[in-house]
Amino acid sequence: MPKVVSRSAVSASSDAISTASSTAALRVYYCICGEFVLVIDKSLSSLPRRKTDKAIIIRSQDGPDAKAQVFKLNADTAEPVLVERTTGGHERQYRFYCTRCQLLIGYQSTPPPVKSGPFLYILNGALSQIQGQVPEDAFDGEQPSEGE
Ligand SMILES: [Zn+2]
Q: Looking at residues 77-90, what average pLDDT do you find?
A: 90
Between 89 and 108, the more confident residue is: 108
CA 42/CA 75 separation, integer angstroms? 19
> According to the CATH classification, is domain 25-128 in 2.170.150?
yes
Asked whether the predicted pLDDT for residue 78 surpasses 50, the reply is yes
CB atoms within 10 A of CB 135: 19
Measure 131 CA to ligand 1 centroid, in angstroms: 11
Note the pLDDT of residue 61: 96
Q: Looking at residues 114-118, what average pLDDT do you find?
A: 95
Hey, CA dihedral for 104, 131, 136, 16, is it positive or negative? negative
CA distances to 4, 7, 9, 65 from 1, rounded to whole Å, are 9, 18, 23, 38
Asked whether the predicted pLDDT for residue 74 surpasses 60, the reply is yes
- Residues with Cβ–ion distance below 5 A, ligand 1: 31, 33, 35, 98, 100-101, 103
CB atoms within 10 A of CB 89: 8
Q: Looking at residues 109-125, what average pLDDT do you find?
A: 95
Measure 37 CA to ligand 1 centroid, in angstroms: 8
CA 27/CA 24 separation, integer angstroms? 9
For residue range 129-142, what is the model confidence (pLDDT) as tens digits? 988 777 777 777 66
Q: Looking at residues 57-61, what average pLDDT do you find?
A: 97
Note the pLDDT of residue 5: 55
Between 145 and 66, the more confident residue is: 66
Note the pLDDT of residue 148: 45
Asked whether the predicted pLDDT for residue 17 surpasses 50, the reply is no
Q: What is the pTM of this model?
A: 0.74
Measure 32 CA to ligand 1 centroid, in angstroms: 6
| Separation of first and last alpha carbons in the chain | 57
